[in-house]
Amino acid sequence: LVFSYLELRELRSCALVCKLWHRVLHGDENSEVWRSLAARCLAEEALRTDILCNVPTYKGKVRAFHHAFSTNDCSRNVYIKKNGFTLHRNPIAQSTDGARTKIGFSEGRHAWEVWWEGPLGTVAVIGIATKRAAMQCQGYVALLGSDDQSWGWNLVDNNLLHNGEVNGSFPQCNNAPKYQIGERIRVILDMEDKTLAFERGYEFLGVAFRGLPKVCLYPAVSAVYGNTEVTLVYLGKPLDG
């Protein structure tokens, strides 16, 4: 009962006090503690719609919120909607705009979902970026992957992009299907193997990038189409197989 009144930072501290408190907090990811915290920090829209349908526990939903798009680390031409997970790009001409998440990764294995809820336009890129990568530029370009600080997959033409160059087509198969609006793409970052891979539905599309640097990498997207919306939901550790 006491734990249900605490915030996440305080709960982390409590979990370090003793094994009993750690077991109480982490033994049941749908306990009243996590339900209460989810109700306080997540918007009602996020809880009652299918945004978090692939995040089964309340602890996972709280974690996803803390790994969502950052309102302070995005282009001035975008804003994060009240649900906390969806980026909306304003109709600004001759601009490419992106956003990073609040938390990046320098170790471990991580998975998240990304999907477009509006037209792709001429360029729509998903991938990863360091803190140094630009999140806005002039013109309609593949911003994510335009320098050595970001890696991206352009869903419009199925090209892989890094350091301003096309690193081949993806997925590597004949007549690869084009992305369909609303289709959820799962991104898998493995900082141990230094790889970035993608899945569509239940199909593993393959490893897109290898040899990633041992730096902090953030999930990121970049878009050009006015009023388009992109949703990103952190899932946690990927499920092998």
User: Are residues 57 and 75 both part of a single domain?
Assistant: no
Query: In the prediction, which pLDDT does 40 show?
Result: 93
| Cβ contact 189:179 at 8 Å | no
What confidence tens digit (pLDDT) does each residue in 120-139 have? 999 999 999 999 999 999 99
In angstroms, the Cα distances linking 81 to 49, 109, 123, 224, 230 are 14, 28, 22, 18, 10
The span from the CA of 53 to the CA of 46, in Å, is: 10
User: Are residues 207 and 106 both part of a single domain?
Assistant: yes
Q: Provide the mean pLDDT of the chain.
A: 94
Residue ending a domain, among 65, 84, 115, is 65
Calculate mean pLDDT across residues 192-204.
93
Residue 241 has pLDDT above 70, yes or no: no
Tell me the two tokens of residue 187.
Answer: 């991104």
Q: How far is CA 34 from the centre of its chain?
A: 22
Total domains in the fold of the chain:
2
Residue 1 has pLDDT above 90, yes or no: no
User: Are residues 60 and 74 both part of a single domain?
Assistant: no
Residues 6 or more apart whose CB falls under 8 angstroms from that of 80 comprise 68, 69, 70, 71, 74, 86, 87, 88, 99
Residue 238 has pLDDT above 60, yes or no: yes
What confidence tens digit (pLDDT) does each residue in 82-128 have? 999 999 999 999 999 999 999 999 999 999 999 999 999 999 999 99
Give me the domain span that covers residue 40. 2-65
The span from the CA of 202 to the CA of 158, in Å, is: 19
The span from the CA of 51 to the CA of 46, in Å, is: 6
**Domain-located, residue 187:** yes
The span from the CA of 195 to the CA of 175, in Å, is: 24
Q: Model-level pTM?
A: 0.93
CATH of the domain at 139: 2.60.120.920
Amino acid in position 73: D
Residue ending a domain, among 65, 81, 101, is 65
**Domain-located, residue 104:** yes
**Domain-located, residue 241:** no
Whether residue 56 is preceded by a cis peptide bond, meaning omega within 30 degrees of 0, is: no
User: Are residues 48 and 82 both part of a single domain?
Assistant: no
